[in-house]
Structure 1
């Protein structure tokens, strides 16, 4: 399978995400403030009907980030292990990149990245006040409510998947999607602002 192979939507993805998030929640139950953590199924597999890489993206948002070693110990029984990234500059491994117009305090973008290769899942652990953590949830919801834009996004992903089919990793495929994010950002912000206003 190519590095960024896109497959048709699978109705099992949200079921798998819910099951994995339940296991992760159980593993994190001993952490202080765990009752205030947010557990999200994010990414394209969280948008009904949207084709995607067959890897479920999950997110946990918490007030502060424990060390990678502490999290690795808690997650070991779930099958999630630290994801080092394919290259030193792999996007989104140790920190996220601020979106245009967002706060730029570096501490807000720190993250811990895990994956469960045998379960085809990725886990992003971010601070609850991370603007990027909020962005991925808002983007997911926006795609769910705008099927025409979800279709445009799918076409872009399929094009990028073909372009990067021979790549050894997802990095350039991931960077290639930023043009779509930048294009829809004003509409996404307007939606969030009108909802919160």
Structure 2
């Protein structure tokens, strides 16, 4: 994965790019019969929020497909599996457990794919289990930020500070880890909001 994290002002073209990619992903995944939902997530999905110019997408599945047919299906539309930039890169093979839900350890497993990661059509595809709280948290956090401009702006300021601290890094792994401080602060708020909406 390239680095360091370079944040850009919100681009109104991001949702359109995400929608095009989601159509392609849905078509590629359909023969596997596993996708429960496909969503545009992450900072590029929140109007007005600065972000890395890389679209985050999420597929929730009942079970992780076998690697070979999944990799072949997604390769047909330019998504390739990634190992991250380091052996301990966060969120590649499993999400970091968080939140109030008590779930078996195995539900945090996931697959991560990248598309044109160094180019203008950069995207990351997270494939998560339906039993994983992260699938819900990603949507709740997105929608909570959309509904609370003051929280969105606090997050933007926090991200800008973290990006500045890690401007000389070779990748954005430590930037990603540092952002968990903000998530820890607001987890209860967006969880409560998400459960009530």
- TM-score clears 0.5: yes
Q: What secondary structure sits across from 1:114 in the alignment?
A: strand
Check conservation: 1:103, 1:131, Cα contact below 8 A.
no
Q: For structure 2, which runs of at least 5 residues remain unmatched after alignment?
A: none
Could you tell me which residue of structure 2 aligns to residue 65 of structure 1? Answer: 64
Q: What secondary structure sits across from 1:24 in the alignment?
A: helix
Could you tell me which residue of structure 1 aligns to residue 127 of structure 2? Answer: 125
Q: What secondary structure sits across from 2:196 in the alignment?
A: helix
Could you tell me which residue of structure 2 aligns to residue 4 of structure 1? Answer: 5
Q: What secondary structure sits across from 2:160 in the alignment?
A: helix
Could you tell me which residue of structure 1 aligns to residue 76 of structure 2? Answer: 77
Q: 1:140 aligns with which of 139, 142, 152?
A: 142
Q: What secondary structure sits across from 1:30 in the alignment?
A: helix
Counterpart Cα distance in 1 of 2:109 and 2:34:
19
Check conservation: 1:68, 1:82, Cα contact below 8 A.
no
Could you tell me which residue of structure 1 aligns to residue 170 of structure 2? Answer: 168
Could you tell me which residue of structure 2 aligns to residue 187 of structure 1? Answer: 189
- Deviation (angstroms), 1:33: 4.6
Counterpart Cα distance in 1 of 2:195 and 2:140:
11
Could you tell me which residue of structure 2 aligns to residue 48 of structure 1? Answer: 47
RMSD of aligned alpha carbons: 1.4
Counterpart Cα distance in 1 of 2:18 and 2:165:
28
- Deviation (angstroms), 1:31: 1.4
Counterpart Cα distance in 2 of 1:188 and 1:25:
28
Q: What secondary structure sits across from 1:88 in the alignment?
A: coil
Bigger helix fraction: 1
Q: What secondary structure sits across from 1:27 in the alignment?
A: helix
- Deviation (angstroms), 1:2: 5.4
Q: 1:2 to 1:106 in 2, by over 3 A?
A: closer
Check conservation: 2:25, 2:74, Cα contact below 8 A.
yes
Q: 1:2 to 1:127 in 2, by over 3 A?
A: closer
Q: What secondary structure sits across from 1:90 in the alignment?
A: coil
Could you tell me which residue of structure 1 aligns to residue 19 of structure 2? Answer: 18
TM-score by length of 2: 0.93
| Residue correspondences, number | 193
Check conservation: 1:98, 1:104, Cα contact below 8 A.
no
